[in-house]
A = this chain, B = another copy of it.
């Protein structure tokens, strides 16, 4: 008997992955959570029927959330990750020795618990002494911490369920206020093939708040369309002004100094969404 996980990424299109073992299916206080061991991608975390991360391709998303902003900021001492309870972004953040403290604010403690248990390759650094893990609403945390962070990363689910408020203009204003005077924020902003409207709306909102706004992309095979976008808002530093030769060495599987600027060169139809 073969079991397959099929995700409708739109009403009319999806992906399907052979299941080796279903490890967890649980309704948490916030969302439906599943941990599946798949034959192609290894263990896979699914929230509300959407792949969040898999052991095989997680490095793309986590590296591309963390490194472009941390390389752009000259002195990122205090970093906040909103969401990201699997710990993958935190792991990448810690590769930057200038980071003294990385705070993770995840609303759903079950995501942290099951990631630690079943995804140790991803969540292993959550116990690092430079990390503070807080189980709380990121929106509230942002509003309680003015002028605090050098870099804020929003590693949220899609704008359904608990993440809806993380795609509002009020949230972006809160992020602006929680950043120091030269702070940078970055958020995952879904894909341009099926969610063009979302990318446009976020871009318009962030432009009204931050003086420098840049969008970049990365290939993530298990995410809808395989092309994921990230929106960066910055008060002072422009990621496009980073000199390739000035980027320090750290171990990666996706990000490279050469890719740093190249990731901001968008396909024409995506460029048209955000110009």
The interface of chain A, by Cβ under 8 A from chain B, is: 6, 10-18, 38-41, 57, 60, 193, 217-221, 225-227, 252-256, 258-259, 261-269, 271
A221 nearest CB neighbor, chain B only? B225
Q: Are A256 and B227 in contact (CB under 8 A)?
A: no
A15 to chain B, nearest CB (A): 6
Name the residue among A10, A14, A15 with the largest chain B CB count within 10 angstroms: A14
> Contact: B221 with A227, CB < 8 Å?
yes
Choose among B13, B15, B40, B218 the residue that contacts A18 (Cβ–Cβ < 8 A).
B13
* Complex contact A258–B265 (CB within 8 A): yes
Contacts of A255 in B (CB 8 A): 267-268
CA distance A227 to B226 in the complex (A): 7
The one of B17, B225, B269 that contacts A226, using a Cβ cutoff of 8 Å: B225
Nearest 9 A/B pairs, CB to CB: A226-B226, A262-B265, A12-B39, A262-B262, A13-B40, A219-B227, A12-B40, A12-B18, A221-B225
> Within 8 Å CB of A41, what residues of B?
13
A178 CA to B262 CA, complexed, in Å = 33
Instruction: State A16–B15 Cα separation when bound (angstroms).
Output: 6
Which single residue of chain B is at the shortest CB-CB distance from A7? Answer: B16
* A16 vs chain B, min Cβ distance (A): 5
A/B interface sample: 27 pairs, CB < 8 A: A6-B16, A10-B40, A11-B18, A12-B18, A13-B15, A13-B38, A13-B39, A15-B15, A15-B16, A16-B16, A57-B193, A60-B267, A218-B267, A220-B226, A221-B227, A254-B267, A255-B267, A255-B268, A256-B266, A256-B268, A258-B265, A259-B265, A259-B267, A259-B268, A261-B262, A261-B265, A262-B262
